[in-house]
Amino acid sequence: MKIITGNPGTGKHTIAKSISKKLDLEMIDINKIAIEQKLVKKNDGVLDVDVNKLKKIIDKEASKNSILVGHLAPYVISAKNVEVAVVLRKSPYRLQSTYKKRKYSSKKSLENLGSEILGITYYDTIREFGQKKTFQIDTSSRTISDTVKKVESIFRKTRTKDDKVDWLQMVLKKGDMQKFFPY
């Protein structure tokens, strides 16, 4: 199975929809399965997902002709079922305006921005699936169609180089650490 992951708001569904049409692949939405299978619980206002149960279900559904989409991807499928994983990245400054438009609370926004700055999803994807299968794309200054093309060439194995992403360095240089990590 091919994977598209990344923090909330990085563009996973926008990209996955387009590429699944183009390559005639089935799109499997992690959040949708979690809800359908009743594996989502509200815990102090945030949604908790039973990732162990979810992993069993998704491993069963894994197939060569599908794309698994969601920020939980590194935790809900076994490495043996993963062909290639693309992590979408987005500059925290751009991501912040995406979250403003979505009216995220400041707690939710800061949590997700912090995760993007530290590269937690990318790090976890490499840890779970391995460096060789993992690619990241910086969508910050790319159009949607260009991002789709990049993902497509990674899936077709014609693109082998990885984007360089270092948000932490960027935030430090701009003197914005306090803004993103206020506590």
Ligand X SMILES: Nc1ncnc2c1ncn2[C@@H]1O[C@H](COP(=O)(O)OP(=O)(O)OP(=O)(O)O)[C@@H](O)[C@H]1O
Residues that bind Mg ion (CB under 5 A): 13
Of 110, 135, 12, 107, the closest CA to residue 67 belongs to 12
Residue 125 binding target from ligand X, Mg ion, none, CB below 5 to 8 Å by type: none
Measure the CA–CA gap between 66 and 115, rounded to whole angstroms.
Answer: 27
Q: How many residues bind ligand X (CB under 6 A)?
A: 16
Residue span 60-79 as binding mask against ligand X, x where in contact by CB under 6 A, dash where not: -----------x--------
Each as own residue / partner, the long-range contacts of residues 96-100 (CB below 8 Å, 24 or more positions apart, any chain) are: 98/9, 99/9
The CA–CA distances, whole Å, from 176 to 3, 10, 79, 121, 171 equal 32, 21, 36, 21, 5
- For the bound state, the minimum distance from the C-beta of residue 130 to ligand X, rounded and expressed in Å, comes to 23
Residues 24-63 that bind ligand X (CB under 6 A): none
> Locate tokens 């530290």: which residue?
118
Q: Which is nearer to ligand X, 6 or 74 (CB)?
A: 6
Among 2, 9, 84, 119, binds ligand X (CB under 6 A): 9
Query: Does residue 89 touch ligand X according to CB under 6 A?
Result: no
Give min distance, CB of 141 to ligand X, in A.
8
CB nearer ligand X, residue 8 or residue 74: 8
Task: Measure the CA–CA gap between 143 and 145, rounded to whole angstroms.
Answer: 5
CA-closest candidate to residue 126, choices 161, 76, 153, 86: 86
Question: Could you list the residues that contact ligand X (CB under 6 A)?
Answer: 6, 8-15, 71, 98, 139, 142-144, 147
